[in-house]
Structure 1
Amino acid sequence: MLWYLLKLLVLLPLIGGLAWYSLKFAQKWQAKLGAAPGTAKRVRVIETTMLSPTLKLAVIEFHGREILVSASRQGLTRLAEAPAREVGE
């Protein structure tokens, strides 16, 4: 019984640490491989706002346009669209 508890106390944090580091490693590589080197992203999230636990508003810039979308459990809905503003505005 003592041997079992000793193994549990050693292996449980080890397995938890390996899982945490593998998630961080995957997140790092996903960010690196997301876009090819030297290319600019075509879609950019400008701002997000939570309206409720299940509803979020987001402003997305795409091809020189700003698109207001609502994100919920049912999916995305385009609410409005306007030309992209300059950074200084």
Structure 2
Amino acid sequence: MAWYLIKLVVLLPLIALFAWGSLRLAKRMEGRFAMSEGPSSGLRIVESRMLSPSLRLAVIAFHDREILVSTSKQGLVLLGDAPARKGGSDD
């Protein structure tokens, strides 16, 4: 019984630490690996910048327009839009 309690006291926090670390890593790597939507998709993220841990700016290309949005925990805010640049940065 004592051996079981010792393993529980040692391994349970270790498993919790691994779970917490993997969630933090997933949150940090979020958005780093773009998924290809195919040539027919009319939506793509042109550029994205982190301003703080909870605030991000993103330029989204959508139907020959570029839309600047701010994302945070509260949601999305449209900051501006303009016609798409023809010689812009294509990935």
User: Take 2:88 and 2:64, find their aligned partners in 1: how far apart are those partners?
Assistant: 16
Q: Identity across aligned pairs (percent)?
A: 53
- The equivalent of 1:83 in structure 2 is 83
- The equivalent of 2:53 in structure 1 is 53
User: Take 1:88 and 1:54, find their aligned partners in 2: how far apart are those partners?
Assistant: 27
TM-score for both structures, normalised by structure 1? 0.56
Greater helix percent: which structure? 1
TM-score for both structures, normalised by structure 2? 0.55
- Runs ≥4 in structure 1, deviation > 3 angstroms? none
Aligned length: 76
State the Cα distance separating 1:88 from its structure 2 match: 5.3
User: Take 1:85 and 1:61, find their aligned partners in 2: how far apart are those partners?
Assistant: 10
Secondary structure of 1:41 counterpart: coil
Question: Which structure 2 residues correspond to residues 1-89 of structure 1 after superposition, within 5 A?
Answer: 40-87=40-87
RMSD: 3.8
